[in-house]
Amino acid sequence: MNRDSLNRILDLARWAPSGDNTQPWRFEVVDDHHIRVHGFDTRDHVLYDYDGHPSHIAHGALLETLRIAASGAGLKTTWTVASQGEHRNPIYDVKLVSDPALVPDPLVDCIETRTVQRRPMKTTALTPAQRQALMAAAGDSFSLQIFETPGERRQVAGLLWDSARIRLTCPEAFPVHKAVIEWKARFSKDRIPEQAVGVDPATARLMQWVMQSWGRVEFFNRYLLGTVAPRIQLDLLPGLRCAAHVLVRPKHPPTKLEDWIDLGMAVQRIWLTATHCGLYLQPQMTPVIFRWYARAGRRFSTAPQMGEQALAVTANSSKLLMPRRATILDSSPGWVSHRCPTAAHSGWTFLS
Ligand SMILES: Cc1cc2nc3c(=O)[nH]c(=O)nc-3n(C[C@H](O)[C@H](O)[C@H](O)COP(=O)(O)O)c2cc1C
């Protein structure tokens, strides 16, 4: 393999998703068959990067994307990880070996077309084939819990609504939101472009103005019901108007770094499979993250009501985890690690 092929693989790999588009990795090309990925996390300044786990999930998504991309060039991928302590800077050594018998992964064409869909979508029911494909993509270590009926979707939308209140009123989340949106942009190199946020242009202008300072946000929230418009647009309507919510559940609670990486690999396979099936998807990790804080008894905000609200989100998400339907593959009270709430039938365009 020559350097051009390697560059093409890396070019595809960098399309991997990461929380808030932080891309917590840097590539080092050791030689044409060896890439060293220097992982990092953002736990010191991003409220959502709980113990770096969302970044570890992103590392997994990156490794899976690398594997799929390399398969398109007839290369088999193996990797090892070296990491210590709190896993702040894991180093992944990825080796690429030519394998004439290797069949290119059918998901390779979806790497660049995968999107985050944060707007309301069609409610056309998932077909049995789509449901089956998503479940198969999760692999043996994970099960999928799918919420499809209007009642189930209402319940999930309610959870997202409550979780969004924390997100929008938590002072510690404000600097994260302020830094992450690239206003008036359709594309962004390292942030979330305005057009992907999921609000209409008028709300975007208002948000941009309000988000200049925490004082403005507090004033709006307190006197002008400031969280209502974004919560309706970003959480309630997309939560109700979708085909299904999909919850990825590890069969065993993740404990080691490798468990989080596996989870990220599964998430990316499910996401690319959704794209392959003509579905759109939005990951929603914030309810899960607030649940992590609440269950660990960890305070994440100086605002006193945040802890109570996180406990309420935790109680409501626990209700959702109860098995109710035949489609639930694994009913063990596993640990929620990722929520992928919106999937829609094909044909829906989401950028205005
Ligand atoms: C671990 C992880 C958690 C994420 N959590 C959320 C989330 O809670 N809400 C959301 O809208 N997007 C979430 N995303 C999507 C990212 O914001 C998105 O992947 C990133 O901005 C890059 O955009 P792209 O996927 O379109 O390339 C998450 C992605 C990952 C990998």
What CATH number is given to the structural domain containing 40? Answer: 3.40.109.10
268 ligand 1 Cβ < 6 A: no
- Choose one of 116, 159, 166, 190 to mutate for the ligand 1 pocket test, by most ligand atoms within 8 angstroms of C-beta: 116
User: Which residue range forms the structural domain that includes residue 314?
Assistant: 128-343
163 ligand 1 Cβ < 6 A: no
Angle at 84 between CA 92 and CA 50, to 5 degrees: 90
Instruction: Specify the pLDDT at position 221.
Output: 80
Which ligand 1 atom is the nearest neighbour of the CA of 198? 11
Are 140 and 34 contained in the same domain? no
Which ligand 1 atom is the nearest neighbour of the CA of 339? 8
Instruction: Specify the pLDDT at position 325.
Output: 47
* Distance from residue 117's CA to the centre of ligand 1 (Å): 10
Split into its structural domains, the chain has a count of 2
Are 10 and 59 contained in the same domain? yes
Query: Average pLDDT per run of 10 along the chain, which is 352 residues long?
Result: 91 96 97 97 96 97 98 97 96 97 97 93 93 95 92 93 92 92 92 90 89 88 77 91 92 94 96 95 92 94 92 88 48 31 31 18
DSSP state of 223: H
Q: Which amino acid is at 277?
A: C
DSSP state of 107: G
Are 150 and 240 contained in the same domain? yes
Are 303 and 157 contained in the same domain? yes
Instruction: Specify the pLDDT at position 323.
Output: 60
Instruction: Specify the pLDDT at position 330.
Output: 30
Are 94 and 166 contained in the same domain? no
Are 12 and 47 contained in the same domain? yes
Question: What's phi and psi for 281, nearest 5 deg?
Answer: -150, 145
Tokens found for residue 236: 């309630």
Show which of 77, 110, 143 is a domain's final residue: 110
* Distance from residue 36's CA to the centre of ligand 1 (Å): 24
Are 167 and 103 contained in the same domain? no
* Distance from residue 18's CA to the centre of ligand 1 (Å): 5
For residue 349, being part of any structural domain is answered with no
* Distance from residue 230's CA to the centre of ligand 1 (Å): 18
Are 102 and 135 contained in the same domain? no
55 ligand 1 Cβ < 6 A: no
Instruction: Specify the pLDDT at position 260.
Output: 96
Whose CA is closest to atom 9 on ligand 1? Answer: 284
Q: If you search the block for the tokens 């390779």, which residue do you land on?
A: 108
* Distance from residue 319's CA to the centre of ligand 1 (Å): 25
20 ligand 1 Cβ < 6 A: yes
Nearest of 137, 120, 130, 141 to residue 249 by alpha carbon: 141
Are 145 and 105 contained in the same domain? no
CATH of the domain at 259: 3.40.109
Are 83 and 161 contained in the same domain? no
At residue 224, the 3 state secondary structure works out as coil
Instruction: Specify the pLDDT at position 332.
Output: 30
